[in-house]
Amino acid sequence: MLETIKIGNVTIDKTACLAPMASVADRAYRYMCKKYGASYVIGEMASAKGLCYSDRKSNELLEVTKYEYPMAVQLFGDSPEFMAKAAVIASKYKPQIIDVNMGCPVPKVAGNGCGSALMKTPELAAELVHAMTKVTDIPITVKIRKGWDDESVNAVPFAKMMEQAGASAITIHGRTKQQMYHPPIDLDIIKAVKQAISIPVIGNGGIVTAIDAKHMYDYTGCDLVMVGQGTYGRPWIFQQIKTYLETGESLSEPSINERLDVMYEHISLIVKLKGEKMGMREARKHAAWYIKGSNGAAGFRHACGQLSTLDDLRDLIQEVKKRI
**Euclidean distance between CA atoms 260 and 275, whole angstroms:** 21
**Euclidean distance between CA atoms 30 and 8, whole angstroms:** 22
- Using CA of residue 72, residue 141, residue 205, residue 77, what is the dihedral sign? positive
Residue (of 153, 219, 155) closest to 193 by Cα position? 155
Q: Nearest-5° angle of CA 165, CA 166, CA 169?
A: 115
**Given 52, 104, 114, 222, which residue is catalytic?**
104
Contacts of 26 (CB under 8 A, 6+ apart): 43, 44, 270, 273, 282
Is 304 a residue of the active site?
A: no
| Cis peptide bond N-terminal to 122, omega within 30 | no
**Euclidean distance between CA atoms 208 and 36, whole angstroms:** 15
**Euclidean distance between CA atoms 105 and 96, whole angstroms:** 26
- Using CA of residue 151, residue 162, residue 230, residue 249, what is the dihedral sign? positive
Question: If you compute the radius of gyration of the chain from its CA atoms, what whole number of angstroms results?
Answer: 19
- DSSP states of 46-74 as a string? EEHHHHHTT-HHHHHTT---GGG-SEEEE
| Contact predicate 159/189, CB 8 Å | no
DSSP, res 209: S
SS3 267: helix
Q: Nearest-5° angle of CA 94, CA 142, CA 159?
A: 150
Catalytic residues, by residue number, are: 104
